[in-house]
Amino acid sequence: MLEIAKRVDDFMMERSPVHDTMRRLAQTLGDLGIPFAIAGAMAANAHGHRRTTADVDVLLRREDLVRFKDRWIGRGWQDLFEGSKGFQDTLNGVKVDVLIVGDYPGDGRPKPVSFPAPESVWEVHDERVPYVNLSSLLELKIASGMTAAHRLQDLADAIQLIRVNALPQNYAAQLNPFVRAKFDELWRAAQVSEDY
């Protein structure tokens, strides 16, 4: 139990293996001149929704993933399997999931929301790590949760992002029309007090 508490504490203090992997990845991609943005739970953390995760999600173009792998697989990073999109940091044992620009969140089927070009949605926080901006992160998480029954955590993350950022109901106007009605539903859920 103490080991779990220490891991959670390390994560919240941003000194976990996941944070180290994210920083190493940012440095490596930056050195190669590859545009990228951190997505998923690490981006949610950057936007105020504090929760742990075991991996790093990164938004890349397909050709840039190939470029990264050609240069770095076998040199501190390893493929998960032949032809995989993801890879692993051999130093920390942390998995990196790659979200390919133009692919679709959730069920992977075509929809009005797709993974955008990283430089069109990034914002840089304290560590000089580019994260997916809040509106794009919400679009991706809501579209994912709407279309994949096993992605309920994405909807829970959206509720917490709405709550912690005190987003107004009309924030929906900034989002892709595909997710607006679901945002409205999640916004109402976010207004429910968690005090019991």
Query: For position 8, what pLDDT does the model report?
Result: 65
Q: Write out the residue range of the structural domain in which residue 11 sits.
A: 2-190
Asked, for residue 120, whether it belongs to a domain, the answer is yes
8 Å CB contact between 62 and 100: yes
d(C-alpha 140, C-alpha 105), whole Å: 6
- CATH code, domain carrying 78: 3.30.460
Query: For position 12, what pLDDT does the model report?
Result: 74
Query: For position 10, what pLDDT does the model report?
Result: 67
Query: For position 159, what pLDDT does the model report?
Result: 98
Query: For position 9, what pLDDT does the model report?
Result: 66
Asked, for residue 195, whether it belongs to a domain, the answer is no
Query: For position 103, what pLDDT does the model report?
Result: 98
Asked, for residue 106, whether it belongs to a domain, the answer is yes
Query: For position 196, what pLDDT does the model report?
Result: 57
Count of CB atoms within 10 A of residue 88's CB? 18
Asked, for residue 196, whether it belongs to a domain, the answer is no
pTM of the model: 0.93
- Total structural domains in the chain? 1
Residues shown for the chain: 196
Cα angle: 89, vertex 124, 136; to 5 degrees: 90
Nearest to 59, CA basis, from 130, 110, 125: 130
Q: Are strands 94-100 and 55-60 parallel, antiparallel or unpaired?
A: parallel
- Block means of pLDDT (10 residues each) for the chain, 196 residues, are 70 82 96 96 95 96 97 95 93 97 97 97 83 97 97 97 98 98 98 77
Asked, for residue 63, whether it belongs to a domain, the answer is yes
Query: For position 29, what pLDDT does the model report?
Result: 96
